[in-house]
């Protein structure tokens, strides 16, 4: 995969997921459970449900995706995009969560950081190539 393809894959990751972020704007947003719930990406093409997947981790699973997002995932080898886990992170303090994100379009797992930036707003940052290529976007809570 060349640098252009990797950049495109990371842009896709930002569009699909799961992910450095600003400090919480309110005490409620600073609580780890503020991450729980349903979140929509900036393009309004996907909704994920973030829940606890074990005692230490939070996982984001795709629960809704546009036809285009599903087609793009199929091109990358993810036949059933809805139900796919695209983010797994753990609380690292200060309203920040770190872990991995999955980009179904490129079939890549990359390092991810999620930070709560305000009530109902989180930023996700995904990085590959040892942090040399990163993409970031804000997601909005929908429930």
pLDDT (0 to 100) of residue 15: 43
Within 10 A of 51 (CB to CB), how many other CB atoms are there?
Answer: 14
d(CA 98, CA 89): 5
Domain coordinates in residue numbering, the chain: 3-141
Which whole-number Å values give the CA distances from 50 to 5, 8, 38, in the listed order? 28, 25, 6
Residues 6+ apart with CB under 8 A from 85: 53, 59, 60, 61, 102
pTM exceeding the 0.85 threshold for the entire prediction: no
pLDDT (0 to 100) of residue 12: 55
pLDDT (0 to 100) of residue 105: 85
**Which CATH number describes the domain made up of 3-141?**
2.40.128.520
Torsion, Cα of 53, 90, 32, 48 (10° steps): -50
- SS3 state at 116: strand
Residues 6+ apart with CB under 8 A from 37: 49, 50, 141, 142, 143
pLDDT (0 to 100) of residue 4: 53
Between CA 54 and CA 59, with CA 55 as vertex, the angle to 5 degrees is 40
- Residues of the chain with pLDDT below 70 are 1-32
pLDDT (0 to 100) of residue 32: 54
pLDDT (0 to 100) of residue 143: 83
d(CA 142, CA 120): 8
């Amino acid at each position: 995969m060349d640098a252009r393809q990797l950049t495109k894959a990371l842009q896709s990751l930002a569009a699909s997921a799961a992910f450095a972020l600003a400090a919480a704007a309110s005490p409620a947003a600073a609580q780890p459970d503020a991450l729980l719930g349903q979140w929509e990406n900036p393009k309004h093409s996907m909704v994920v449900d973030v829940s606890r997947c074990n005692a230490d981790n939070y996982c984001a699973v795709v629960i809704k995706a546009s036809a285009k997002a599903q087609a793009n995932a199929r091109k990358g080898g993810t036949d059933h995009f809805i139900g796919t886990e695209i983010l797994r992170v753990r609380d690292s303090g200060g309203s920040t969560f770190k872990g991995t994100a999955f980009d179904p379009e490129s079939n890549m797992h990359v390092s991810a950081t999620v930070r709560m930036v305000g009530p109902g707003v989180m930023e996700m940052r995904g990085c590959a190539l040892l942090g040399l290529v990163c993409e970031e976007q804000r997601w909005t809570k929908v429930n």
